Amino acid sequence: MAGFAVKFLGCKVSQADAMLARSALIAAGHVETSEADADLHVVNTCCITREAEAKSRQSVRRSLRDAQTVYVSGCASNLDARQFAEIDPRVRPLVGTADDVATMLGDAVGACADTEHDVLARARGEPEGGRTRGFVKVQDGCDCHCAYCIIPAVRGSARSRPASAVLDEVRRRVAAGQPEIVMTGISVGDYRDPEDGLELGQLMVEVARVPGVERVRLSSVEVIHVKDSLVEALAGEPKVCPHLHIPLQSGDDAVLEAMGRHYGAGEYLAQVAALRAAVPHVNVTTDVIVGFPTEDDRAFERTLDVVDAAGISRVHSFSYSPRPGTAAARLGDRVPPEVKKRRSQRLRGHSEVRSRHHRAAKLGRPERVLIDKAAETQCSGYTADYTRCYLPAGAGARGEVVEVTCAELHADGVRCVARPSYPVS
């Protein structure tokens, strides 16, 4: 029996894959412990940028301070396993899908004598406990091939899990105490059930109908995948959360074309406007890449204009860096670092103003908050539209939905007071 620790870098899909590896080791009879006490570490890596790849190597090196063996999985390992194997003989890269990695871990580490041999099946049946939010990967791979992105090369083409398997996993997660289900994937809007043809929105409605599910939300969705069935789910099913993270990347048509994106700024705005017409209370957040090689000052200003016109409440900004192996790498890195920094600072400031405006509009209003953190000094959780709320200690237990009134702004959320009718679970 081994003591192990699992960590991940990158997106929610990387987190879901890391949690499958964790469940596989538990299913094999091993025990999760702190990083300092673990003989075995698993690092699920990211390669979306060169910086993410460098951070993945750094994480592996940190693990070598404590662990006797470090297994490395995920996108950066799939892209170039040798870069990790060369760090130290104790590092063992694993190449393949999350299911492949879970199986390989079971074979490499070995199952304890009293466990079943099919570690992957047991891992799928034993979601991680102690969390109120369950990440369910419904799709993997991507067919978009954006000019700056390496992910299709390491994740492969888009493919969807059967809805029956997704619903089985949701039932297990609810039984494990996870009332909020986050549906995730590399290109999750591409989802189509290979058995019955269900689209993403239709699947979300089916998930919402599973007994014990309080909320269903998406991790991220491309604007070209905000289909009628998804809008109908947001408008018609109360448990489907009115929050969509819809990457913009740029508000300039020429930059979007150079990026290989499949829409223009006008199309983005029209789709968001149609979404708001159907779901007026929807909260839209986004991603923006700053300093793409063809972005000049006017293009950046257009991005700020589109953020405003779309009513975006929060922007996650990323400074562009060439990703070897992508089409955009041939364009070089034309925008000077100091210009990228200046634009990033402006965008972050712009985002904070918009976030504050979104949160201020909630003051005096009732909300329902799913508690995910409960400490001696305070507890906190998220509203359905993904606004962080802070409550006095004892206002609710983890996993409870409590009714509150938004009282004052907090640095990154809203401070709330209890309404007489809470808690409601």
What CA–CA distance (Å, rounded) separates 368 from 352?
A: 23
DSSP 36: T
Task: Give the pLDDT score at 1.
Answer: 73
Tell me the CATH number at 40: 3.40.50.12160
| 8 Å CB contact between 318 and 351 | no
Count structural domains, the chain. 4
* Domain termination residue (choose one: 345, 361, 377): 361
Residue 42 backbone phi and psi in degrees, to 5: -120, 125
Task: Give the pLDDT score at 424.
Answer: 44
3-state secondary structure of 192: strand
Task: Tell me whether residue 105 is in a domain.
Answer: yes
Q: How many residues does the chain have?
A: 425
- The set of residues, in sequence order, having a beta carbon less than 8 Å from that of 337 and lying 6+ positions away, is none
Task: Give the max Cα distance, the chain.
Answer: 65
Say how far residue 236 (Cα) sits from the centre of its chain.
Answer: 24
3-state secondary structure of 391: strand
Task: Give the pLDDT score at 425.
Answer: 47
Question: Do 344 and 406 reside in the same domain of the chain?
Answer: no
Question: Do 251 and 357 reside in the same domain of the chain?
Answer: yes
Strand partners, 244: 284
Say how far residue 137 (Cα) sits from the centre of its chain.
Answer: 10
Place of tokens 């300092």: 36
3-state secondary structure of 131: coil
What is this structure's pTM?
Answer: 0.91
* Domain termination residue (choose one: 328, 343, 361): 361
* Domain termination residue (choose one: 323, 338, 361): 361
Task: Tell me whether residue 236 is in a domain.
Answer: no
Strand partners, 69: 40
Residue 2: C-alpha distances to residues 28, 31, 109, 199, 322 (Å): 10, 6, 8, 41, 40
Task: Tell me whether residue 227 is in a domain.
Answer: no
What CA–CA distance (Å, rounded) separates 127 from 120?
A: 12
Residue type, 9: L
Task: Give the pLDDT score at 50.
Answer: 87
What CA–CA distance (Å, rounded) separates 37 from 5?
A: 9
Residue type, 14: S
Task: Tell me whether residue 71 is in a domain.
Answer: yes
Question: Do 104 and 216 reside in the same domain of the chain?
Answer: no
Q: 413 is in which domain, residue-wise? A: 366-418
Which residues of the chain fall short of a pLDDT of 70?
A: 111-130, 420-425
